[in-house]
Each structure stands twice: as structure tokens, then as C-alpha cells.
Structure 1
Amino acid sequence: MKTIYTLFAFFGLITSNAQNKDVVITTHKVTDHIYMLEGRGGNIGVSSGEDGIFMIDSKFAPLTPKILDAIKAISNKPIKFLANTHHHGDHTGGNENISKLNTSILAHDNVYKRIKNNSKQSDDALPIITFNDKLSLYINGDQVLIFHTEHAHTDGDALLYFTNSNVLHTGDTYFNGMYPYIDLNSGGSVNGYIAAAKQALILIDDNTTIIPGHGKLSNKKEYEFFLEMLESIKVSVLKSIENGKTEDEVASDASITKTYDDLNFGCCFISSEKIRRTFYKSLK
């Protein structure tokens, strides 16, 4: 039996390495000094300027060399700060690698706690600067407002707004064009997720460019539609709960999400059945 497990692990490693080898990191220019790096894992934000590089999220560890190549194509300046939008591995997996570049990592208090308690991550992946509610960072001609949203995607989410550049990085409180992953086991909730979108929308205007946690670059109109989707599903699921429906009955009721299924929102990370089940669990 041990041999079988070893073989599974070996072939799993080969598959993982092959997937990483095939990953392409694509750079999207957002403003004259802000960029989004897209590839496997969460979208990375990069601010480049005289003060150095300010990086948001680090994807998976094996992708670090490709990510650094993409950043060096933007600027040869050192990576001064790395901010984590939350603790998930597709956003913090490269932390340890980046920390070895004498980069200071910052995140919400709960991100520190969750990485600290994760046996798969070393202390080198930990943020050395943490905050409880909000934080301001002045870099590359921008004031970056970093603020916590409670019990949204997780219990440690941070949104980052570049006030002068009018760019918002939402982390995984926004999955553009798809159903979101709401991590109930890590303190996430439907109500908190909706509140996070409302909180962010107050800050921005029609000219804001949004870097979502996953998906293509976005704007206020698309973010508002995403919020509309969340609130619509919430209303339908609450009605089903009030009518005594069980979790399985709600999960199998395709009418709840049909409008957004028809727009292919169930394309990617979270299926329509999974999002209905998540809403039920959170709202029940």
C-alpha cells in the first residue's frame, strides 16, 4: 500500500511540474506604473516606480521564477513590499521565495495566524507587518489604502485601492465573470462577501480599473453586476430556506442560478451546484 501511495505522489509531482512548465505569466498594463500579472493562481498586482516594486500576492511557489522575469521586464528595481490579500496558497505560495529578496510582507492579522498554523508553509512566508482594520502605504506617487473586509472570502481579506491611479485590487472578494469561492471553513460568509463588494463600490467611480482576484481586468459596472448576482442568489436561497427546503434540494434547484448559469458563471472554479450549496450553508 505504501508503494501505491508513493507512486501516486510521484505521478502527482510530475503532473504538477508539467502544469507549472506550461504556465504563461501574462502582463497587462493598467496605468503608466501599475500592472496585472495573470497566470495560474490569483492575479498579481504590481506598482513600479522610483521607490521600487510594490507587489500584491505571489501565486504558487514554483511560478516564482516566471513571475520575477515578468517583473524584471517592467523594472529592475527591488521588490520593496509584498502585500497578501488573504492566506490561500495561490496568493501566498511564493511568499517564502519573495521574502528571500529582502522584501517586507504585509497582510491582515488573520493571514499571519493562518500561515503560521499551516504546516505546509514556513515562517519565511509570514508577513512581518500586519494590521487589524486599515493601513496606508505611500509608494510610487500613490497613497495605497489597504482595508480589511470582515468574513468575506475568508476572515483575513484585504482590498487595496491606489487613490491617485484610481485602481482597485479586490483579492478574491471578486471573481470576474464567474461564481466566487466563499471559504466558509476559513471564516468566509455570504453576507460578508456581499458587504465587501458594497464597501469597495463606495470607494470607486466609473473610471476605476479593477484587478480582481481571478478573471480579466474589470470596472465598476461589471463589479455592480457581480454584486447583483450575489444578492439575487441570496434572495432565492433565503426564500427556499423559509419554505423548508433542505441543502440538497437547494443544491439541485437549477432555477436559482439559471440567469447566471446562462452567462457561464459556472465555468471555472465553482459550479452552479456548488455556489447554491455554499449559499445555503452560509445563510442557514
Structure 2
Amino acid sequence: MISKIFLNTVFLFSVLTVFSQSDTGEKNNTKLLKVTNKIYMLQGNGGNIGLSFGNDGIFMIDDQYAEDVEQIQKDIKKVSNKPIRFLVNTHFHGDHTGGNVALAETGTVIFSQSNVRDRLHKMIKTETKKISEAALPVVTFDEDLTFHFNGEKIYVFHVHDAHTDGDAMVYFTGSNVLHTGDVFFNGKYPFIDTENGGSVKGYIAALEMATKIINEDTKIIPGHGNLGTYKDLKNTINMLQTLNNRVTSAYVNRKTEAEVLSMTDLTKTYDDQGYGSGFITTEAFLKMLYSEVKKNRASFDQIDEANKAAMKKYEQMQKEREENEKD
């Protein structure tokens, strides 16, 4: 699970910086950024939060960690005193769902893709530290759903086996703003949770799907990182495709994981752009890619080995026949 992340950002949007004291006396930093007249992005210790403000109330996407909720609520009240009526969890990780209990207790209705509730429920049942079932989304969907809220249609849709197996993106159709959850780490190597249903193939497919829904003027709130653009999204797709192809080529040419990790030229272009300076290092990202390639090519490797065994058997039979003919 992603650990706490602090990402410094500078945008050409109005910025409200808020400092709060933690129990340890250390300062926590949150930034509330105006994306459009009604859509805001709130950054802090966890994943980026999306907020829609309007006459109907507040529509919220993700809620970071439990200990951050009080400060987040204070930040939100600087824009509106209306209630947070709806919350969408883009996936189940704690830096995006940690505030669920506190918000549910205030009357917020929580939505998610079905697999998110299932994974959260499993965590509640297995965690030694008791977690309230109030953390669970009360409304789930399999593929998509639509809200009509604050004067616009809000389209929430599932992307399969990408960051996890329960990812959802949220598109504010009138404001032309997309929240991607962790299916987009802007300018950094992403964390793809392959142990919980994520995959490189699904991650790329999800981003490609997003490009078909949005346009070049869309503002994009990523799971982590700076506010993004259509071009930033395309750059991430190109990075993933390029590096996945390079690692695949190295694997097919019998390169070991250690050898791939030593091939600094594979990622140099992207490392020079700062992709490896985030939560996921270059080494960690390459290890994940290599593991995925190995897993996906397992059937090909088995066929290759079977073909080699068959060829060896054929050559042996041929040799025996030639020897019999001599006799």
C-alpha cells in the first residue's frame, strides 16, 4: 500500500496554502487549488482530492488519511459551508479512503466500484486493529454511474485491472475536468498494485480509454502529482508503452532481472525528466515491469520449452533411424 506522500506543486491557478499542527508539533501542509469556477483540487499527505462546489452541496473524490480529515474539512469550509453529500472512492488504498469513517458519520454517502467495497470489507475482517464498517461504501457499481449535481453531469466509470481491480475515474462533463485516481501519476513512475488486480496492460488501456472521453482542453486531477493536461496523459502512455516494450525485448533476449536493472539506458530519457524521483523509484518500476513481462510470457515460454523438447526428441529419433539404416 502506498505510504504517505508529500508532493510539492506549483500551478498557474489560485492557491490557498494552509498549515496545521500535528500531535508531534510538525507542520502538515495542504493546498487547495481552484481548477475551474466550481472544481477544486486539494493536496496533502495522501492522494489528490477532487471537489465540486455548488448549490446542491459538495461532491468529493477520495479523502486521504483518517488523521487528515479534520484539516481537510477546515480547508473545504473556506470555500463552502454546505455539506459533503457524496464521496467517490477511486480505489481501496488507505491514502484515498482513510477518511471514510469520519465523513460517513457526518452523513456523507460513499460510492465505489464493487471491488473496492469487497477489498475494504476483507481488510476490516482481517485487520488486528479494529476498523469500523462505516468505512465501507454504501452504494457500489460494476461499470459506471452518473450523477446530476451542481448543474452538471458527473460521469463515474470503472477501468479494469489498471492500478488495482477496482479503479474508477470521474469526469465532470460540464467543467471538463477528469479525476483519474491513481491510474495517473503525473510526471512520475506509477505504482501499479499487481498483487491487488493491477496490471501494466490494464493501466495503459485505462489511460487510452480516458483520452477517448476527454479532449485537449481537459484539466486532469491525477492520483498524485501536479494538475495535468491531455498532453501529460499522452506522455505517460508513451512512457509506459516504451519501457514495457524495452523490458519485453530484454526478457525475450534472455536478460535477467539484474541485467535489466543495470541497463540504465532503458530509462534514461524518463529519468532525466524526473520520473524516478517520486514514490516509485526507477529500480522498483523496472522490477515491476520485468515481473509482469515474465508472468505474461509464461505461456509463450512453456510453448518454447515444449517445442525445444519436441525438436530434441525428433533429432534423437532421426539419429537412431540413420544408425539403423547403416546396420
TM-score by length of 1: 0.92
- Distance in 2 (alpha carbons) for counterparts of 1:262 and 1:72: 40
Q: Residue 107 of structure 2 aligns to a residue in which SS?
A: coil
CA apart distance, 1:137? 1.0
Q: 1:141 to 1:150 in 2, by over 3 A?
A: same
The answer to whether residue 226 in structure 2 is matched with residue 216 in structure 1 is yes
Question: Do the aligned partners of 1:254 and 1:272 also contact (CA within 8 Å) in 2?
Answer: no
Match of 1:246 among 215, 237, 256: 256
Correspondence list, 1:200-279, <5 A: 200-279=210-289
Provide the residue aligned with 2:44 in structure 1. 39
Question: Do the aligned partners of 1:252 and 1:273 also contact (CA within 8 Å) in 2?
Answer: no
Correspondence list, 1:95-106, <5 A: 95-106=100-111
Provide the residue aligned with 1:8 in structure 2. none
Uncovered stretches (5+) of structure 2, i.e. residues with no partner: 1-21, 295-327
Provide the residue aligned with 1:77 in structure 2. 82
**CA deviation vs aligned residue, 1:200-250 (integer Å, no higher than 9, x gap):** 011111110000000011110111111111111011011011111222322
**CA deviation vs aligned residue, 1:44-67 (integer Å, no higher than 9, x gap):** 000011111000000000010100
Q: Residue 150 of structure 1 aligns to a residue in which SS?
A: coil
Question: Do the aligned partners of 1:174 and 1:180 also contact (CA within 8 Å) in 2?
Answer: yes
Provide the residue aligned with 1:189 in structure 2. 199
- Distance in 2 (alpha carbons) for counterparts of 1:142 and 1:249: 52
Provide the residue aligned with 1:153 in structure 2. 163
**CA deviation vs aligned residue, 1:128-182 (integer Å, no higher than 9, x gap):** 0000011111110111111111110000000000111100000000001110000
Task: Number of aligned residue pairs: give it.
Answer: 268
The answer to whether residue 75 in structure 2 is matched with residue 65 in structure 1 is no
The answer to whether residue 102 in structure 2 is matched with residue 92 in structure 1 is no
- Distance in 2 (alpha carbons) for counterparts of 1:32 and 1:249: 51
Question: Do the aligned partners of 1:155 and 1:188 also contact (CA within 8 Å) in 2?
Answer: yes
Q: Which runs of 4 or more aligned residues in structure 1 lie more than 3 Å from their structure 2 counterparts after TM superposition?
A: 16-19
- The residue identity in structure 2 corresponding to 1:254 is T
Q: Residue 251 of structure 1 aligns to a residue in which SS?
A: helix
The answer to whether residue 135 in structure 2 is matched with residue 125 in structure 1 is yes
Uncovered stretches (5+) of structure 1, i.e. residues with no partner: 1-15
Q: Residue 250 of structure 1 aligns to a residue in which SS?
A: helix
Q: Residue 213 of structure 1 aligns to a residue in which SS?
A: coil
TM-score by length of 2: 0.80
Provide the residue aligned with 2:31 in structure 1. 26
User: What is the CA RMSD across the aligned residues, in angstroms?
Assistant: 1.2
Match of 2:115 among 107, 110, 128: 110
CA apart distance, 1:24? 1.4
83-92 or 242-251: bigger deviation? 242-251
**CA deviation vs aligned residue, 1:102-143 (integer Å, no higher than 9, x gap):** 110000001001110112532110000000011111110111
CA apart distance, 1:251? 2.8
